[in-house]
A and B are shown apart, each in its own frame.
Chain A
Amino acid sequence: MFNESSSLGSDVADRRNKHVSFKASNKSHTNDFSNNYIHSGSLPQKHVTNIENSVQGYPKLQKLFELKDRQIAQYITTPFGCRVDIDQMVPTLNHWIQNEKLTFDVVMIGCLTDNQFIYPLLTQLALDRLVSKPGFLFIWASAHKVNELNRLMNNEGWAKKFRRSEELVFVPIDKNSPFYPGLDQDDHSLIEKMQWHCWMCITGTVRRSTDGHLIHCNVDTDLSIETQQTRDGAVPSHLYRVAENFSTSTRRLHIIPARTGIEKPVRLRPGWVIMSPDIILDNFAPKRYKSEIAKIGNCIPMNNQVESLRPKSPIQKV
């Protein structure tokens, strides 16, 4: 049916190509992408028009992203990998805390894969000693798992230390994506699951209006859609980008308590220490890391151009 009509359409178009009337229709049109999915199988998110360049149309924001990218790239440590079996993660991290006196300002836990051992990690680890204050915690998991973590995070001890601040979502572009949460579909699921969730938590005190040297608010959004370039590993760069753009800190740690296998390698990221049983390089040395941090400083310094471009809270009248 569709093929017939579309070929008919192009015939008509060819015939009157010379004097086809391109008169604009005066009726406006809106698409129903959910209805279209039922009939064509093309997922709604595929029709978002700024997937590849999210700030398309906003030159100021584009400039801001470029500047921040450049600045972040200036103040980075060597990409570090730390290959540790899942059951050795907590002892290793405890060793870092107690013996090496290491702390991080940005800690990301989990990636876009099922079978993550997040709960045991969160309950066994002295997370409040690993994350400095103020510090930022990002926990990525399937929507189902994030939901399960609710109980832990509502527990008073936890909620006092880490305030849940934003819920982030990552959406793969189609079902062939390596990030399609296929195993998350269970019999109870009423609607096909297409997303990964992340809790962003803040510990310590930061104020959006006055702590511009620590955080840049409202630069990124709480939604990432998979792009063409991000298919080559277990962690799409969006996940790192959001954290890097938000916090100006240079001390960043990513813990992946899951086996991701050889099809989805865990790659290194400049400026991050990545702990995973499947990281491709095992080069982390606390001493070297500390000396590098000492050289570049704990924070990316303020930059006037970035300051003038980034969204800020309106100045309160006294």
Chain B
Amino acid sequence: MVNFELIEFLIGNHQELTSVPLSGQLRDVFALFLIDQNTQLGAKYAKMHYQEFLKDLLEINELAPNSSHFRDESFVSVDDERVEFIDLCALKILYDVCKQDSRKFKRTLKGPRGQQRQSQQDLSVLDRLIAALSYDSSKVCPELPSRHRLLQRLEETLAQKPASVQLGKERAHMTVPQSEFIPICKSEKHAHILSTSVNTSNNRIISIQWSKISKFENENNEFNHCLQTHIHYVPNVNAHTERSLGDCSYLDTCHKLNTCRYVHYLQYIPEFLKEKIAEETKLVNKRINQQKRIPFYTLGNCCADISKSLLPPQWIRCDVRKFDFSCLGKFSAVIADPAWNIHMNLPYGTCNDIELLGLPMEQLQDEGILFLWVTGRAIDLGKESLEKWGYRVVNEISWIKTNQLGRTIVTGRTGHWLNHSKEHLLVGLKGNPQWLNKQIDSDVIVSTTRETSRKPDELYGMIERLVGRHARKLEIFGRDHNKRSGWVTIGNQVTGTCIRELEVKKRYDNFITS
């Protein structure tokens, strides 16, 4: 009946168990013993319970009198469950006896241990926690000291996402239409080969010298495959191009393409690859469209998610500062991209910013999220504004701006002290909405720059995943290119007004006539 493994464990670790930080806390000792057992193959005590452990420990103490000295053997309070001293000598004697008498030892083991097991219902909280922490012992390196193994397990457990996040991710994966994706080749060698073998004229790729390419192909045979699966960029060499100068800072957005001496590039994708990807994506999206009809996980979705058709784009041309926000109704998500007017030399708060702070943003949402684009000193002001409007800053998204070649922007004195390769988007949360699908996307957007101050469209997809496709969404200070199904766009730069929701239309007409 003697728990031989426990004796062994106590002998091996007697010093660590009684000293700081364990200080002989029996519950911790028990946890360590279990982990120790879990990492050994064919362990008998892998699924032991705490009460059994205590019983075994007391039994050992009975056989080797006073081998363990407890604070109070009656274990009245949790604080009493503490071993203060382990007598190594007494334990070793017991260990030797057990070993010599291994036959007897084996026989005792045949005892009805299983019958003593408590039923599942009687499991203590501790046992359940231990079970929750249970893990695949094959993943853990057995050489690590037990405290590291415990730490590792703890970290794994903390990293575990709640089911809502996992299911939300899964649902996004199964139901969000896929966009066509072709990876970009990062090999400098490939770029070099192409730069010597592609002929361009009139800013188009005319021909490729296959003799050169097949020569390289003989040397490294992944090149051909890479050409067939990745996007490549070939230098667009004109008479005035000077290769030694390096790349143009603006590349495809350069306004002086006909005179700029820096190198510009043309995107090269084989026609068949483009077609193949388009076809594959179409197939995948057909399947995704069918999957949408299977309501396997509906939390955070609106009830008629599938049958409901998306509301077409709506927009209102107005001076945002004078507009009556109350005619718009309430929104789940709001984007604002104000033209911050902060001069570097002023502390802050030029006229425009004060007007911006004065916007009645609190009317737009009872609970929901607000996305606010900020730059430079406005990062601060933006955070203050959000708090003033009743939001908590819960996330900050960085838009990593890339150029035509998928590289970050590193030139062009884009910032005052350092160059700016990213822009900040503050995410404010108001109230405690239960209908959000949290942590599906990551807080880094990588997207190419377009017209001045035009923001990446990736954000719309992220917000639609977060609040749902049919939720009401508003963009303030939008322009024509921001119009989008499911969204209301307001600002003084959109052309005309188009309202499809009757109630909004009625209120808007009242506002105009008043």
Contact = CB atoms under 8 A, between A and B. Distances in A.
B446 interface: yes
B408 A33 contact: no
A13 B224 CA distance: 10
Interface stretch (A98-106, A122-130, A164-172): A164-172
Contacts of A217: 413, 416-418
Interface in A13-65: 13, 17, 20-40, 43-45, 47-50, 54-61
A36 B246 CA distance: 31
A275 B146 CA distance: 30
Contacts, number: 258
Interface in A208-245: 208, 215, 217-223, 225, 242
A22 B208 contact: yes
Nearest to A60: B246
A182 interface: yes
Contact of A185 (B224, B276, B439, B444): B439
Interface in A108-131: none
A214 to B, nearest CB: 12
B269 interface: yes
A147 interface: yes
Given A200-B417, A221-B418, A29 B443 contact: no
Majority secondary structure of chain B interface residues (helix, strand, loop or mixed): mixed
Given A150-B380, A171-B444, A48 B466 contact: no
B171 to A, nearest CB: 10
Interface stretch (A79-87, A188-196, A278-286, A301-309): A188-196
Contacts of B416: 165-166, 208, 217
B395 A13 contact: no
A203 to B, nearest CB: 14
Contact of A222 (B173, B247, B419, B457): B419
B415 A222 contact: yes
B445 A48 contact: no
Interface string B389-420: 00011111110101001111111011111111
Please list the 10 inter-chain residue pairs (A to B) with the smallest Cβ-Cβ separation, ordered nearest first: A57-B247, A50-B407, A223-B421, A44-B446, A49-B406, A25-B274, A34-B458, A221-B421, A221-B419, A32-B179
Interface of B: 155, 158-159, 169, 172-173, 176, 178-184, 186, 188, 204-205, 208, 224-225, 227-229, 231, 244-247, 263, 267-276, 280, 283-284, 287, 369, 377, 379-380, 383-384, 392-398, 400, 402, 405-411, 413-422, 424, 427, 429, 436, 438-448, 457-458, 461-462, 465-466
Interface of A: 1, 5, 9-10, 12-13, 17, 20-40, 43-45, 47-50, 54-61, 143, 147, 150, 154, 164-169, 171, 182-183, 185, 188-195, 197, 200, 202, 208, 215, 217-223, 225, 242, 246, 311, 313
